[in-house]
Amino acid sequence: MAALEDHTSTDAYYVTTPIYYVNDRPHLGHAYTTVAGDVLTRWHRQRGEDVWYLTGTDEHGQKILRTAEANGVTPQQWCDKLVEEAWKPLWEHLRIANDDFIRTTQARHTDRVQEFVQDLYDKGEIYQGSYTGPYCVGCEEYKLPGELLPGATEDEKLCPVHKRPVEWLEEENYFFRLSAYGPKLLEFYAANPDFIQPASARNEVLRFVEQDLKDLSISRSTFDWGVPLPWDDKHVLYVWVDALQNYITAAGYGSDPERFARLWPASVHLVGKDILRFHAVIWPAMLMAAGLPLPRRVVANGWLMVGGEKMSKSNLTGIAPTDLTSHFGVDAYRYYFLRAIPFGTDGSFSWEDFTARYTSELANDFGNLASRVAAMVGKYFDGALPAATDHGPAEQAVADALVRAAAEADRKIGEELDFAGGIAAVFEFVKLVNGYLTEQEPWKVAKSPDGRDRLATVLYTAAEALRATAVLLNPLMPDSAAKLWASLGAEPALGALAEQRIATVADWGRLPAGATVTKGEILFPRLEEKAAV
Ligand code: ME8
């Protein structure tokens, strides 16, 4: 087992999503986190880094067991069906380019989990005790009496997330000495101020850990759908303790030391704010107990809300992503949620807002620019991109704006996970290029007999700006970027879109004169037309 001191990995950019419960089908909320991780990892791939993107499914615990029972199948059958019929197809549909998909019922996971907890047991980090207190099966979480809401009767208490009665547990089980880790965790947070983001999430965790941490019940004995404790098979491991380990079992912990050294510690754990404590308190403490390095960052996203509440499967407010992609398309879907909601804050989905952004930002600002430029190169130069023989201050202003937009997008998307800010930087550039065309009026220049050089320069400038835009939008909207790349005829000279690097995207003049520009498909068709099809 790799210890802290013999751990040398700093290389791979390893990003994880939460592993989702497969008690039901995915909704917009799950897709939100997974698309964010996909854009982040595609961005880093486009920087030329060694990247690994992990997602998967959380298949143990009472929630899954009860769902399977209610449907008259075994929990394994239920999970197999949902994973194959709902979860994996959705990620494919949304163009999620994950490198691995871990399922917690796989032996590659359960075997390593048993070794991990046996190790903690042997080190005296786990002891036998009894738990009495509330539990929410919806959250799969032990609750603190103080955080519950009043129910219909004196005795009934509700989960603050699900607004449904919690259950009262009285069980013999095993405990992890979480209480011993409070001071070490606080020390770690102080030494690593960027560990938890955004700042509001960090503050919440600090406040929580500054109070005395309680030991954590890590086993259940009243049902058997889970990983059996190796030293006492009357117990199964508490689902969260099993689930958190997916990040290391999938990375080769205990099975592939070389891969584990390359991937671990993870660069970013993406999580919803509801599961922050598990990732920023319990998981680091478990890793400390095992002598493993801690992940570099835990970044919490806000909730997609419906009617003022968290969108959720349990509350039957989940909207299927395909309900939106069938109308707006996959790329617009990927764009909308990251552009409209600042990452880290809550936001609501609105059909009207999506329609408005689709029309003004995607169809008018971006899609129209691409089709107008291709049409003019076709009309005035037979589709052969002319050279910019008259590059002057107006053109240099476009080139300079590109340098700024690329740097800002790289910092915001690649480093700060400020997707909305990074996308806005690229779209500001698109607007600027539109403004440049409006000012230069190439359609008028085309009519003047001595305007040939100017016309060539204006169209080259716009096409070159689009070349860079395709690269910068590729992580976010891979299908549209690929169409644009093809329409610019960029591949023969510059190679595949995926091979273009962020570091050189703003080097002006990469697209060679003579490239074959074709009109191609409309990137974002009008929604009325789409609906009529
Ligand atoms: O918690 N808005 O799984 P889960 C935004 N299995 N994001 C949302 C959301 C919403 N309305 N609803 C869900 C679990 N999410 C555990 C995780 S990890 C070791 C185990 C996203 O199926 C968000 O990322 O309940 C949240 O953290 C995740 O889905 C929880 O999915």
Ligand 1 closest atom vs CA 310:
11
Of 411 and 528, the structure prediction assigns the larger pLDDT to 411
Active-site annotation holder among 63, 79, 109, 159: 159
Which is nearest to 361 in space by CA: 188, 507, 480, 222?
480
Decide if pLDDT at 55 tops 70.
Answer: yes
Residue 192, pLDDT score: 98
Residue pair 134/300 in contact by the 8 Å Cβ criterion = no
Q: How confident is the model at residue 532 (pLDDT cuts 50, 70, 90)?
A: very low
Measure 58 CA to ligand 1 centroid, in angstroms: 11
Q: What's the rounded Cα separation, in Å, for the pair 159 and 169? A: 14
Tokens of 303: 């909730």
Residue 145, pLDDT score: 85
Which residues, in sequence order, are bridge partners of residue 381?
none
Residue 284, pLDDT score: 98
Binding-site residues for Zn(2+): 136, 139, 159, 162
Q: What is the DSSP string of 83-122?
A: IIIIIHHHHHHTT---SEEEETTSHHHHHHHHHHHHHHHH
188: left (phi over 0), alpha (psi -120 to 50) or beta: alpha
Residue 529, pLDDT score: 59
**Residue 162 annotated to the active site:** yes
Tell me how far the alpha carbon of residue 207 is from its chain's centroid: 27
Active-site annotation holder among 60, 273, 310, 412: 310
Of 305 and 40, the structure prediction assigns the larger pLDDT to 40
Measure 264 CA to ligand 1 centroid, in angstroms: 23
Q: How confident is the model at residue 234 (pLDDT cuts 50, 70, 90)?
A: very high
Q: How confident is the model at residue 245 (pLDDT cuts 50, 70, 90)?
A: very high
Measure 272 CA to ligand 1 centroid, in angstroms: 6
Q: Average pLDDT of the chain? A: 94
Which is nearest to 278 in space by CA: 249, 303, 311, 245?
245
Residue 144, pLDDT score: 87
Residue of the CA atom closest to atom 23 of ligand 1 = 272
Measure 183 CA to ligand 1 centroid, in angstroms: 28
Ligand 1 pocket list (CB less than 6 A): 18-21, 29-30, 32-33, 58, 243-244, 246, 271-272, 274-275, 301, 303-304, 310-312
Q: What's the rounded Cα separation, in Å, for the pair 500 and 488? A: 14
Task: Output the CATH code of domain 352-532.
Answer: 1.10.730.10
Q: Please compute Rg for the chain using Cα positions.
A: 26
Decide if pLDDT at 186 tops 70.
Answer: yes
CA angle 413, 419, 311 (to 5 degrees): 140
Decide if pLDDT at 530 tops 60.
Answer: no
- Number of Cβ atoms within 10 Å of the Cβ of 326: 12
Residue 384, pLDDT score: 98
Active-site annotation holder among 44, 139, 235, 412: 139
Measure 319 CA to ligand 1 centroid, in angstroms: 14
User: Which letter does DSSP use for residue 516 in this model?
Assistant: B
Residue of the CA atom closest to atom 14 of ligand 1 = 20
Residue pair 130/217 in contact by the 8 Å Cβ criterion = no
Task: Provide the 3-class DSSP secondary structure of residue 494.
Answer: helix
Active-site annotation holder among 109, 273, 313, 412: 313
Decide if pLDDT at 522 tops 80.
Answer: yes
Q: What's the rounded Cα separation, in Å, for the pair 503 and 62? A: 48
Q: How confident is the model at residue 485 (pLDDT cuts 50, 70, 90)?
A: very high
Dihedral of alpha carbons 195, 200, 206, 209, sign: negative
Q: What's the rounded Cα separation, in Å, for the pair 251 and 100? A: 9
Q: What's the rounded Cα separation, in Å, for the pair 399 and 405? A: 10
Q: What's the rounded Cα separation, in Å, for the pair 64 and 80? A: 12
Q: What's the rounded Cα separation, in Å, for the pair 110 and 116? A: 10
Decide if pLDDT at 459 tops 70.
Answer: yes
Q: How confident is the model at residue 3 (pLDDT cuts 50, 70, 90)?
A: very low
Measure 3 CA to ligand 1 centroid, in angstroms: 30
Residue 350, pLDDT score: 87
**Residue 159 annotated to the active site:** yes
Contact residues for 440 (Cβ-Cβ < 8 A; gap 6+): 394, 454, 458
140-181 pLDDT per residue, tens:
999 988 889 999 998 899 999 888 999 999 999 999 999 999
Task: Provide the 3-class DSSP secondary structure of residue 305.
Answer: strand
Dihedral of alpha carbons 178, 243, 284, 118, sign: positive
Which residues, in sequence order, are bridge partners of residue 176?
126, 216
Residue of the CA atom closest to atom 9 of ligand 1 = 29
Residue 316, pLDDT score: 66
Residue of the CA atom closest to atom 2 of ligand 1 = 303
Active-site annotation holder among 88, 93, 162, 431: 162
Decide if pLDDT at 255 tops 50.
Answer: yes
Decide if pLDDT at 329 tops 50.
Answer: yes
Ligand 1 closest atom vs CA 303:
2
* Amino acid occupying residue 523: L
Residue 531, pLDDT score: 53
360-407 pLDDT per residue, tens:
999 999 999 999 999 999 999 999 999 999 999 999 999 999 999 999
User: Which letter does DSSP use for residue 253 in this model?
Assistant: T
Decide if pLDDT at 505 tops 60.
Answer: yes
Q: What's the rounded Cα separation, in Å, for the pair 331 and 468? A: 18
Average the pLDDT over 193-204 and give the result. 97
Residue 463, pLDDT score: 98
**Mutational test site, ligand 1, from 20, 244, 303, max ligand atoms within 8 Å of CB:** 20
Measure 163 CA to ligand 1 centroid, in angstroms: 17
- Interstrand relation of 149-150 and 141-142 (parallel, antiparallel or unpaired): unpaired
- Number of Cβ atoms within 10 Å of the Cβ of 114: 18
Percentage with pLDDT > 90 across the chain: 90
The mean-pLDDT minimum among 38-52, 136-150, 517-531 falls in: 517-531
Q: Where are the domains of the chain?
A: 352-532
Residue found under tokens 């982040």: 40
**Residue 391 annotated to the active site:** no
102-137 pLDDT per residue, tens:
999 999 999 999 999 999 999 999 999 999 999 999
Of 2 and 518, the structure prediction assigns the larger pLDDT to 518
Decide if pLDDT at 528 tops 80.
Answer: no
Q: How confident is the model at residue 314 (pLDDT cuts 50, 70, 90)?
A: low
Residue 191, pLDDT score: 98
Task: Provide the 3-class DSSP secondary structure of residue 403.
Answer: helix
User: Which letter does DSSP use for residue 480 in this model?
Assistant: H
Q: Is 208 exposed, middle or buried (0-12, 13-18, 19+ CB in 10 A)?
A: middle
**Residue 79 annotated to the active site:** no
Active-site annotation holder among 136, 143, 235, 269: 136
Q: What's the rounded Cα separation, in Å, for the pair 527 and 19? A: 34
Residue 308, pLDDT score: 78
**Residue 483 annotated to the active site:** no
**Mutational test site, ligand 1, from 16, 23, 32, 238, max ligand atoms within 8 Å of CB:** 32
**Residue 269 annotated to the active site:** no
Task: Provide the 3-class DSSP secondary structure of residue 235.
Answer: strand
The mean-pLDDT minimum among 70-79, 299-308, 487-496 falls in: 299-308
Residue pair 269/33 in contact by the 8 Å Cβ criterion = no
